[in-house]
Amino acid sequence: MRLENQVAIVTGAANGIGLAICERFVAEGARVVMADVDDDKGEAEAERLDGDALYVHCDVGDRASVEHLVARAVEAFGRVDIAVPNAGILRTGDFLEISDEDFDAVLRVNLKGVFLTAQVAARQMASQDPQGGVIINMSSTNQVLAIPQITPYVVAKGGVGQLTRVMAISLVDKNIRVNGIGPGSVATEMFRQNIATNESALAAIMSRTPMKRPAEPAEIAAVAVFLASPDSSYITGQTIFVDGGRLPLAYTC
């Protein structure tokens, strides 16, 4: 087991990619602190994972809430070795119609939430011992590509890309590695409900995905395990794009 005796914090952990990462981390021997605002689902999933998981309510855009999350992890398991700032939200709309409220809400969770989770976790990692730790930021192909209907999301993910780089350089002397994962389309419940049932939307996404299918959450989790493990010990400041070939395609047909 590649993560035996490691303690991981995962935000946005009640569903989708975050839940898949928690499941895989536990399978690899880690103990996981699952953070979310969906308390019913988060508590149920943590109970399903038994003694290897703890659920903590956390608003990632609020520093006090994030500090409470990390404190609970240390109280329960003694340390923090891995942090995955995964929580994210989406607001859609034409650029000319985007409200301040929607723009601020997305950046608060998708960018500030990554910063706060990573910073507070890194402070704990740095205080522990020379072993350091690992931070895995959840980005997107929209770190590079632009979709005009989701401007705040694109802006936030672009920021996550730069945050990953500057964190990696800033924390290297603390023996903390920082990398990102940039998924393309992923077959989460949201995807199944809003895209898979919409023939034109699904066709548009598949036209720019050479592998002609979305990723499964478990495929993103597998990359997270790699980045969290010693197998990636000489990798920092990078984003691995798990996109079925979307970025190299560069056009739609």
The pLDDT tens digits of the residues spanning 138-182 come to: 999 999 999 899 999 999 999 999 999 999 999 999 999 999 999
Query: How confident is the model at residue 251, as a pLDDT?
Result: 65
Tell me which of 190 and 244 has the higher pLDDT.
244
pLDDT score recorded for residue 191: 82
Does pLDDT of 184 surpass 80? yes
Looking at beta carbons, which pairs linking 65-71 to residues 24 or more positions away fall under 8 Å? Answer: 66/116, 66/117, 66/120, 67/120, 69/9, 69/11, 69/33, 69/35, 69/117, 69/120, 70/9, 70/120, 70/121, 70/124
User: For 60-79, what is the mean pLDDT?
Assistant: 98
Q: Is 128 a residue whose pLDDT tops 80?
A: yes
pLDDT confidence of 252, banded at 50, 70, 90?
Answer: low
Task: Give this prediction's pTM.
Answer: 0.96
Report the pLDDT averaged over residues 116-132.
95
Please spell the DSSP secondary structure of the chain, one letter per residue: -TTTT-EEEEES-SSHHHHHHHHHHHHTT-EEEEEES-HHHHHHHHHHTGGGEEEEE--TT-HHHHHHHHHHHHHHHS---EEE----------GGG--HHHHHHHHIIIIIHHHHHHHHHHHHHHHH-TT-EEEEEE--GGGTS--GGGHHHHHHHHHHHHHHHHHHHHHGGGTEEEEEEEE-SB--HHHHHHTTT-HHHHHHHHHT-TTSSPBPHHHHHHHHHHHHSGGGTT--S-EEEESTTHHHH-S--
Cβ neighbours of residue 115 under 8 Å, at least 6 residues apart? 163
pLDDT confidence of 250, banded at 50, 70, 90? low
Are 19 and 217 in contact, with CB atoms under 8 Å apart? yes
Looking at residue 198, what is its pLDDT?
Answer: 83
- Which listed residue (55, 153, 234, 251) is catalytic? 153
Mean pLDDT for the stretch of residues 43-49 = 97
> What pLDDT is attached to residue 172?
98
Closest CA to 21 of 13, 29, 102, 42: 13
pLDDT of residue 118: 98
pLDDT tops 90 at residue 193:
no
Which stretch of 82-86, 164-168, 204-208, 218-222 has the lowest confidence by average pLDDT? Answer: 204-208
Arithmetic mean of pLDDT, 81-109 = 97
Mark whether 153 is an active-site residue: yes
Q: Give the pLDDT band of residue 105 (cuts 50, 70, 90).
A: very high
Contacts of 48 (CB under 8 A, 6+ apart): none
pLDDT band at 225 (very low <50, low <70, confident <90, very high): very high
